[in-house]
Each structure stands twice: as C-alpha cells, then as structure tokens.
Amino acid sequence: MTLELDSVGRQINSNWIVRNLTFSVKQDECLVLVGPSGCGKSSTLRLIAGLDECQHGRIKIENRDVTTSKPSDRAVGMVFQSYALLPHLTIYENLELGLRIRGVRSEQRSRRIQHILDVVQLADRANHQPAALSGGQRQRVALARALLRDAKVYLLDEPMSNLDAQLREQIRPELRKLILNQEKPTVYVTHDQSEALAIANKIAILNQGIIEQLDTPINLYQNPSSLFVAQFLGRPQINCLKPRQNQILAIRPEHLKISDLGLPCRLIAREWLGNTQLLYLESAEGELRMVVDPSFICPERVFVQWDQSKVFYFDVATGLRTS
C-alpha cells in the first residue's frame, strides 16, 4: 500500500501554493512535512485528502488515481489541529458517530471502539465528555477517531500544537508507536523540529511551496543539499562564516572547539541549557555559536578551531551545496 504524489501543484491566480510535489510514502512509513509558516505543509494534506482541488499532477492511493475523487472516496483518515470533537457527546459517542454513519453494526462498533480505546489508553474515559479530558487525552481521542476510519492513508495536521512542550515530549513515543502499528502510509505536519526527528522515517523540508530536500532525518542533518536546509534543521542554528570566493562556509555549533590557536573570539553571552552550555562568540568571521560542557568556564577571550571535514560549502547566489 503506497501513497504517491507526482508533480502535484496548486495555485491561486499567479501564486503557487505548492508546486511540483513528487514523493511516495510506503505502508510502514511516516513522512513528516516541515518548513516555515506558509510554505505549503497543510495545503499538501488538503490536496491529498481532496479538500482542495489538485490543479496539476497526479495523486495515487494504492495505485488508484484519486486526483479528482471526492474526499469520501479516498479512504483517508485525517487528524486536525483543533481535534474537532463534539462537546455534547461522550468520548465513546464521538468515536461511534462515524462508524454509525458508515453503517457498521452495533456489536462491531462496540468491539472496535473498545479496542481503539485500549490502544490509546483511554478506556476509563469512554463515558466522559471532551471538556473533562486534558489536551493530551483529547488529542488521543482525535487520533483514535482517525484510526477507526480504517483508512488507507493517514494525514495528521499539527496534532500536538495545542499541547505544552512537556506533554508533547511525553506523547511522542506513544504517538509514533500508534502510527507505525497501523502499517499505513502516514503524512504528518509539524513546525517542531524535535517532533519531526522523533516521529519521522523520512522528512521533507518545504520552502515556498516546493520540496527543498527529502531524506532520512540523519541524512538531512549530516548532508543538507542547500543553505536553507542547513539553517532550518538543527538547534542551535548552524554558523555561517563570511563568504569567500562566491561560497558560504557553514559549521555546526557542536563541531567548534576551544584551542590554543585558531580564530580569535570574544565571549559576548552564554546560555546554560542543562546538559550543555551555549556560548555566543564575536569574531572576524561574525557571531558564532558553540556548544560546550555545562561545567566549562569560558574566559572572555578564546581561540576557536574546527575540523575542516565538517564544513559545508554553499554557493552564494543559489544557496545550493557545492561540497
């Protein structure tokens, strides 16, 4: 079972919302879409779901062309950012509603709902209304409802954006397990890098409606194809040195080291981050960020070096990787 997009695009007047999107997601994969606001992440999900018209290219689910199919004919399960739970119904009734509309018999509805509530660990909340649940629990109900759809493809649009950082971190492993256990192609949208790295098999980084790069999380981080990708993925952000010979040199903060010789720097600020310490250094190459041990006491003036093999080179004009 595979989801395939081939040269998919949509535009409003002369403005492209997404352009030339080409990728495939297998049944055991979760592709995470990341990028700045307005880059086309949620629009891509809406095109796959059939909520917006696909004006260019083709969308296939299980080798069936669904480009012009109605949303109800695509067998897509979608989880929205807002949960979209009916407040006057219990959790059980919220889950049952879709099954009832699709004509699933009572005993089958009961069995499937009980199973999915066990999976999301909410069996003891079945008779509660949404208002009585925490944000994390409501998110799991929304996910359970999508999984009950018995869809061929699952689409998740910022499903944890309404949760605080601590709760998102707690839920991530459980959510990844739930997604992968379905063994269906899944496309997941988030603005949170940590969330993307924790959940994805593959990540697509979007910029102004196009895919800058699509690869595994580790390959994106270690081998960015453009300066945009290098700067977008990774916190603290990558250091960019002054351009030379029409190239921008970039080095990640964890690859800098204090030395007896090297680039003279002056300490201008520091941030203690618990298990690491982030130093802000002023140099002739511009401001640098450097990650060091939390116990390190940095003098005001230091020399910094780096392993030349860890440096990325990008073309000044195009931003594309040159070596």
pLDDT digits (tens, 9 = 90+) for 66-113: 999 999 899 898 887 667 788 999 999 999 998 988 888 999 999 999
| Predicted pLDDT at 165 | 79
Fold type of domain 2-227? Rossmann fold (3.40.50)
Mean pLDDT, residues 208-231: 96
Rounded to two decimals, what is the model's pTM? Answer: 0.87
- The domains of the chain are located at 2-227, 238-315
> Given this model, what pLDDT does residue 204 score?
98
Cα(159)–Cα(165) distance, integer angstroms: 13
What is the percentage of the chain residues whose pLDDT exceeds 70?
99
Cα distances from 169 to residues 47, 121, 176, in angstroms, run 29, 17, 11
**Which tens digits make up the pLDDT trace of 233-283?**
988 999 999 888 899 999 999 999 999 999 999 999 999 988 999 999 999
Residue 142's alpha-carbon distances to 81, 84, 86, 95, 279, in angstroms, are 9, 7, 11, 9, 42
Q: What is the pLDDT of residue 244?
A: 86
Q: How much is the mean pLDDT over the chain?
A: 91
Domain 238-315, what architecture?
A: Beta Barrel (2.40)
Distance CA 66, CA 269 (A): 54
The residue among 43, 66, 56 whose CA lies nearest residue 9 is 56
The letter for the amino acid at 268 is I
Element housing 213 (H / E): strand 210-215
